[in-house]
Structure 1
């Protein structure tokens, strides 16, 4: 069985979804390499291992992730790109990891998710395996006692309602043969190292796609280093699903 950690990226009227697939027997190996990368981030630039890594904030300089203001001030553009690349390199060290990116011309991420699940379903059938999906999203209140019972219950209800389009994509699969098991498990990226990893990979995939299809985002200036980072994962791209690491969905391929 595989665990698939999924996050979205994109801009305007086009969205992308990227999933990191890791087999159950390779889960601890991926975590080992990822935490080794986190340790190097801390040693090199002072980014604590529990600081959430969000690609837009990390690469674009919108966040101040370092432990001290002095470190943040010296954590410039090139260092941030290098930090992103370092973490991608550590993902590639896990030989069993697989990567799937699906993109389409729509602002509705749930629509892309439906096709993403179908690709996973087809691949899992080919491999005679099964998949459980962890998706970046609201999972409920952080602290019920601090939030209060009534507000906590409302937060849970909102989380459940918000996940409905994704649940529907799973429950629409044929029960007798489905390979994507259970409903999607919504995980807050703040508390999931692998959702953060999917975010960094997904951001690289987005820029990689933007370089390949400049007409999709004519106002965007794609970052070459992000495309290069995504290409580092080329040996891990899901074979038979997509061209140059990305499945592009046109009007005829929506399911």
Structure 2
């Protein structure tokens, strides 16, 4: 069985979803390499190990992720790019991890998710395995006891409603043969190291794709160093699905409807 950690990227009329697939027997190995990278971030630049890593904020210099003001001042754009690259290198050390990105010309993440599930289901059938998906999203209020009963109840309702399109993608699979088990498990990226990892990889994959399809994002300028970082995972790209581990679906396909 595999765990798949999924996050979105993209902009404007083109959206992407990237999943990190790791078998149950490789989960601890992946966590070991990721936490090793987090320790190096803290030792080198003072980025606290529990600070959320968000690719856009990290690479574009937003936020103050370091332990001290002096370290934040010294955490330059070049250092932030190096920090992103360091974490990708550590992910690549896990031999069993696999990467899949599904992308296309639409603003609707839920539409991309349905296609992502379809490709993952086909892969799991080929591999004779099963998959549980963890998706970036709010599972409910973080501190319900401090919100009051009514506010907490409303937060839970919103979380459940927000997950509905993703649940439907799972529940539309044929029950007798489906390989993706259960509903998607929504995990807040603030508390999930592997959702953060998927975010870093997804951002790099997005820029790699922009270089290949500049017409899809004519107003944006891809960052070549992000593509270079993504290529560090080349041996982990899911084989037989798309190019460079990325499946592109044209916006006029019936699959979007």
Using the size of structure 2 for normalisation, the TM-score is 0.98
**How far 1:170 sits from its partner (Å)?**
0.3
Partner of 1:14: 14
Partner of 1:69: 69
Partner of 2:110: 110
Q: Deviations over 1:25-66 (max 9, x none)?
A: 000000000000000000000000000000000000012111
Map 1:211-226 onto structure 2 (within 5 A): 211-226=211-226
DSSP-derived class of the 1:100 partner: strand
Partner of 2:96: 96
Return the alpha-carbon distance in structure 2 between the equivalents of residues 67 and 39 of structure 1.
Answer: 13
Return the alpha-carbon distance in structure 2 between the equivalents of residues 63 and 234 of structure 1.
Answer: 30
Partner of 2:245: 245
DSSP-derived class of the 1:176 partner: coil
Return the alpha-carbon distance in structure 1 between the equivalents of residues 164 and 118 of structure 2.
Answer: 17
* Structure 2, gaps ≥5 residues long: none
Partner of 1:35: 35
DSSP-derived class of the 1:17 partner: strand
Partner of 1:204: 204
Partner of 2:4: 4
- RMSD value over aligned CA atoms? 0.8
**How far 1:190 sits from its partner (Å)?**
0.3
Q: Deviations over 1:132-162 (max 9, x none)?
A: 0000001111111111121111111100000
Map 1:135-146 onto structure 2 (within 5 A): 135-146=135-146
Return the alpha-carbon distance in structure 2 between the equivalents of residues 216 and 100 of structure 1.
Answer: 19
Return the alpha-carbon distance in structure 2 between the equivalents of residues 221 and 105 of structure 1.
Answer: 17
Number of aligned residue pairs: 255
Q: Deviations over 1:77-102 (max 9, x none)?
A: 11000000000000001000000000
Partner of 1:24: 24
**How far 1:253 sits from its partner (Å)?**
6.3
Return the alpha-carbon distance in structure 1 between the equivalents of residues 178 and 110 of structure 2.
Answer: 19
Partner of 1:44: 44
Map 1:163-182 onto structure 2 (within 5 A): 163-182=163-182
Return the alpha-carbon distance in structure 2 between the equivalents of residues 163 and 252 of structure 1.
Answer: 24
Using the size of structure 1 for normalisation, the TM-score is 0.99
Return the alpha-carbon distance in structure 2 between the equivalents of residues 33 and 54 of structure 1.
Answer: 18
DSSP-derived class of the 2:216 partner: coil
Return the alpha-carbon distance in structure 1 between the equivalents of residues 196 and 80 of structure 2.
Answer: 15
Return the alpha-carbon distance in structure 1 between the equivalents of residues 235 and 148 of structure 2.
Answer: 48
